[in-house]
Structure 1
């Protein structure tokens, strides 16, 4: 057993962290903290494998420059700069490029992020997909999706990921 995970587990036990959040709670975070906008998921259908599309009920976009600046790590920002430079060298031919390809390029360059949420019958987040790179947003969504109480044990790899996300966001400090 990983010593770090055991330490995180001990810290977790000392706190009363809610394990799951309702869609309304998650929407509150997305809209108020990240200034995200709700979209009809069909507008971003091209970003999801057709076999997975029906797993998601909601779609959000984060495009505030200030919010994105705070969400991205230094490494992610550097990767966006490199990708933008590379894309300048190999520009897309607008006559041969689809709207979807242009949008996907903008996402990969850090211009915006897209979040898809799947909701269970009780109104809790059961699944999510982010399109675009943001380690911080990913960890936040892992925490907001939560984990069932019965799955909170050290043998469960998903619980390890949950503990890591809590730690990375400072909830276990």
Structure 2
């Protein structure tokens, strides 16, 4: 298992769709309003779980995406997880990167249909 963190603002902006950016902006506004009303406290460096709190705040505000790649055989990606704001572009790229078992490449198989959809959404195929 390998973990990667994306926190560069330019890269994140290139990954998020306009709708996702608008959703993130609304989430940031909501968090700011909650802080202003005293409903959400800022983590303090003295807090025991400060780093974890900062990480979750950055996830919620779209400033951080974590990608965890899993491999059963330590050679090929067998699964992945994403943490942070929804990012369809990255999700579909990871789905394509993971691939599918050749045995699943049968017309009408939902696994193949999902993979083909990911190829389209990632821009590798046209409908």
Q: State the TM-score, normalized to the length of structure 1.
A: 0.63
Structure 1 segments (4+ residues) deviating >4 Å:
none
Cα displacement string for residues 123-154 of structure 1 (whole angstroms, at most 9, x for unaligned residues): 00001000121100000000000001111123
Secondary structure of the corresponding residue to residue 90 of structure 1: helix
Which of 56, 59, 79 is residue 3 of structure 2 equivalent to? 59
Alignment correspondent of 1:160: 113
Pairs aligned (count): 117
Going from structure 1 to structure 2, the CA distance change for 1:154 and 1:106 (only over 3 Å counts) comes to same
**Aligned-partner Cα distance in 1 for 2:74–2:2:** 15
1:121 and 2:73 are equivalent in the alignment:
yes
1:144 and 2:103 are equivalent in the alignment:
no
Alignment correspondent of 1:79: 23
- Comparing 92-101 with 149-158, greater Cα deviation is found at 92-101
**Aligned-partner Cα distance in 2 for 1:77–1:97:** 32
Which of 59, 64, 77 is residue 107 of structure 1 equivalent to? 59
Which of 89, 92, 113 is residue 33 of structure 2 equivalent to? 89
1:131 and 2:75 are equivalent in the alignment:
no
**Aligned-partner Cα distance in 1 for 2:34–2:107:** 48
Going from structure 1 to structure 2, the CA distance change for 1:88 and 1:123 (only over 3 Å counts) comes to same
Question: Which blocks of at least 5 consecutive residues in structure 1 are unaligned?
Answer: 1-56
Q: Over aligned residue pairs, what C-alpha RMSD do you find?
A: 1.7
**Aligned-partner Cα distance in 2 for 1:160–1:121:** 25
Q: State the TM-score, normalized to the length of structure 2.
A: 0.84
Alignment correspondent of 2:124: 171
